[in-house]
Amino acid sequence: MQLAEHLISKAAEAGAKVIALQELFNTPYFCREMDSRFFEWAEPVPGRTTEQFTALAKKLGVIILLPLFEKKAPGVYFNTMAVIEKEGKLAGIYRKMHIPDDPGFYEKYYFTPGDLGFKVFDTSEGKIGTLICWDQWFPEAARLTAMAGAELLVYPTAIGTLPDEHDTEKAEFLDAWKTIQRSHAIANGCFVAGINRVGEEGGTRFWGNSFICNPFGKIITEADEQEGIITADLDFSQIEKYRQQWPFFRDRRIDEFGALTKRFL
């Protein structure tokens, strides 16, 4: 966590007002395997980690989006993002709604599906929609969050190349990962930020490539596979212009969407 504090401080010095960290930032990505020992890493919210970073947010005068492993009750755990306002107040939490269960991503063993719904936090720096990793593949999640007023969708992420995957597959998955998030920006006329892990853990190579894009899906800034900081100035007043040009919210056939509540037709 010292490294996270150091990088947050550097970002604040560079002028950042909203600072987001990667999924489960303060532990290894333990979901690569199923091991009950990892439940010991979970903590309540508020708790030790949120208290540490609320103090940092107040000291630096920044908003911090803090993803961590939450213990709600014995046997009930969540993949959570805490939203900390710049005066050092815990504004609230979001609990990851979509939980994957795939080789190298055994999250259903650890996490209960989120029980708070899709969230938008009306912060001092704008309306921030909080989503986490697997949520990013579902257009319904982005749409509902944007409908609730989000100007920025933030996706802390842990995704990379598994040991048995080759470079061609990595390139294809990476391209799909960027494409789906950029499409959420376009379809919803809002900004999107994806914050991914980097480095190798247990054979999984997290590919980084964190980025921020505008409401037309144009990438404003992006990282490589190395640890670091990316920043961008976002003008939320532009959102109305984009939505005037592409009025998807106006033209949605909401009278025909009832079947979306079913698995299949």
Q: What is the CATH number of the domain that holds 104?
A: 3.60.110.10
Q: From the candidates 31, 133, 190, 213, give the one annotated as an active-site residue.
A: 133
Q: From the candidates 17, 86, 96, 127, give the one annotated as an active-site residue.
A: 96
Kindly state whether residue 47 falls inside one of the protein's structural domains: yes
Kindly state whether residue 73 falls inside one of the protein's structural domains: yes
Kindly state whether residue 254 falls inside one of the protein's structural domains: no
Q: Which amino acid is at 119?
A: K
Specify whether the CB–CB gap between 51 and 79 falls below 8 A: no
Neighbouring-strand partners of residue 87: none
What's the domain count of the chain? 1
Kindly state whether residue 259 falls inside one of the protein's structural domains: no
Alpha carbon distance 60, 13 (integer Å) = 9
- Taken in order 170, 213, 147, 16, is the CA torsion positive or negative? positive
Question: Structure tokens of 261?
Answer: 């509540």
What is the mean pLDDT of each successive set of 10 residues along the chain, which is 265 residues long? 94 98 98 97 98 98 98 98 98 98 96 98 98 98 98 98 93 98 98 98 96 98 96 97 97 96 94
Output DSSP code: residue 261.
G
Kindly state whether residue 214 falls inside one of the protein's structural domains: yes
Judge whether 133 counts as a catalytic residue.
Answer: yes
Kindly state whether residue 233 falls inside one of the protein's structural domains: yes
Specify whether the CB–CB gap between 112 and 152 falls below 8 A: no
Model confidence, pTM: 0.97
**pLDDT score, position 41:** 98
- Taken in order 97, 102, 105, 111, is the CA torsion positive or negative? positive
**pLDDT score, position 165:** 92
**pLDDT score, position 1:** 75
User: Could you count the other beta carbons within 10 Å of the beta carbon of residue 76?
Assistant: 12
Kindly state whether residue 236 falls inside one of the protein's structural domains: yes
Kindly state whether residue 26 falls inside one of the protein's structural domains: yes
User: What residue numbers bound the domain in which 155 lies?
Assistant: 2-248
**pLDDT score, position 254:** 96
Q: From the candidates 23, 70, 85, 107, give the one annotated as an active-site residue.
A: 23
Judge whether 23 counts as a catalytic residue.
Answer: yes
